[in-house]
Amino acid sequence: MAWEDRTPFEAIEAHYGLDEAAVIEVMRRQLKPRSFRLWRKRVAGRKTKHRQLRGFEVGRFRCVTQRHR
């Protein structure tokens, strides 16, 4: 969910109980260093990763191709 650009950190916290800092730490451990840097650069300026910054309302916070556990 963290890799997908449209999924806000609040949705990840609701599902897994991980706040933004914990998600970043998991991504840092699980990704290769270069992949982590690219992800952080991509997510840093993205409004869709934070529910409060979103300028639109979306009924779902996951992509239709994502599987729900």
Phi, psi of 29 (to 5 degrees): -75, -35
CA 60 – CA 20 distance, rounded (Å): 19
Residue-level pLDDT at 23: 94
Count the domains in the chain: 1
Which tokens go with 45? 């300026």
Contact present, 1 and 62 (Cβ < 8 Å): yes
pLDDT in tens, 32-56: 999 999 999 888 877 666 665 555 5
What are 12-34's pLDDT values in tens digits?
898 999 998 999 999 999 999 99
Whole-prediction pTM: 0.67
How close are the terminal C-alpha atoms of the chain, in Å? Answer: 12
- Structural domain including 59 reads 1-69
